[in-house]
Amino acid sequence: MRLTGLIAVLLLIAGCSRATVEEPEPSPTGPSAPTTSSAPTSAATTTPSSSKPSAPPAAGAPIADVITWIEAGRPADPTGYHKATRDGETTDLIDDIAFTVPAGPRRVTTCMTDAESTDSALACVVDLVNPPPQPQDIYGQWKGGWIDYGGNTLRVGSAHGDPGRFLHGAGAELPDGSSLSFGDYRCRADRVGLFCVNYAHRSAVLFSPEGIGTFGCLQPVPPPADAAKLFSCAS
């Protein structure tokens, strides 16, 4: 009887030794990832918009300001300025440009290019309020408002026995606030006058009935005998 009880105790001890203890299973979601707070950034960065100049450049303005003013004008289509009209007859100028700008009551500025000219790619006849007087020893028809602008030179006043390049008349009107680009030049019409820049020489001119203004490298130099004034970029 005692033997039977002893066997039962031994069997109970052996069964307990083979028992395993289950450990708690890890959470299926795993450890929580640290949360990253998206703090609001500083005020949104704004790109400053380049504002258009509100007024024409004054006398002595830097050439960069003059160019900015001219380029702020509404671009005109150059194809509409390849013709000139005189007495109702229209002539195709082929590659040359002709345009007219109103310059106050009953005053106009007429401009035209000449591809065959060796000293002036652009000429304008300005109805000046006070045109320069005719120099001594100059014969022929003096035109004090005839301006030759070659980019690196500006010549005011000259004698002409014939209309020259304006033989075929005048070109179409360039409206106020519009700009016209041709060759190395770009011009903008304004109530103050006509502003033209020559990019090749970084010079500019204001054609106005009140007078002719220069910008950039153009500086006054002694004029030749057949001109009233001369400006040059030569140092």
Looking at residue 157, its amino acid is: G
Q: Give residue 98's pLDDT.
A: 98
Q: Give residue 38's pLDDT.
A: 39
59 SS3 class: coil
Phi-psi region of 82 (alpha: psi -120 to 50; beta: other; left: phi over 0): alpha
Residue 13, token pair as written in the block: 């001890």
Q: Give residue 35's pLDDT.
A: 41
Q: Give residue 126's pLDDT.
A: 96
Domain annotation covers residue 156: yes
| Strands 178-182 vs 211-216: parallel, antiparallel or unpaired | unpaired
Domain annotation covers residue 194: yes
| Strands 122-126 vs 108-113: parallel, antiparallel or unpaired | antiparallel
Contacts of 203 (CB under 8 A, 6+ apart): 63, 151, 152, 154, 197, 214, 215, 216, 217, 218, 233
Question: Measured between alpha carbons, how far is 103 from 134 in angstroms, rounded to an integer?
Answer: 23
Contacts of 189 (CB under 8 A, 6+ apart): 73, 101, 102, 174, 175, 176, 177, 178, 179
Domain annotation covers residue 27: no
Q: Give residue 110's pLDDT.
A: 97
pLDDT along the chain (235 residues), means of 10: 40 40 41 40 38 85 97 97 96 96 85 84 95 86 95 94 90 97 96 96 96 97 93 87
The torsion defined by the Cα of 171, 63, 132 and 190, in degrees rounded to 10, comes to 40
Q: Give residue 51's pLDDT.
A: 66
Q: How many domains does the chain have?
A: 1
Q: Give residue 27's pLDDT.
A: 41
Domain annotation covers residue 50: no
Domain annotation covers residue 149: yes
208 and 126 in contact (C-beta within 8 Å)?
yes
Residue span of the structural domain in which 165 resides: 63-232
Q: Give residue 93's pLDDT.
A: 96
Phi, psi at 104, each rounded to 5°: 95, 175
Q: Which of 72, 68, 61 minimizes the C-alpha distance to 177?
A: 72
Domain annotation covers residue 146: yes
Question: Measured between alpha carbons, how far is 128 from 103 in angstroms, rounded to an integer?
Answer: 10
Q: Give residue 149's pLDDT.
A: 97
Burial class (CB in 10 A: 0-12, 13-18, 19+), 195: buried
Domain annotation covers residue 7: no
pTM of this structure: 0.76
Chain position carrying tokens 């003059």: 66
Question: Measured between alpha carbons, how far is 202 from 213 in angstroms, rounded to an integer?
Answer: 15
Q: Give residue 19's pLDDT.
A: 39
Q: Give residue 17's pLDDT.
A: 42
Question: Measured between alpha carbons, how far is 189 from 99 in angstroms, rounded to an integer?
Answer: 10
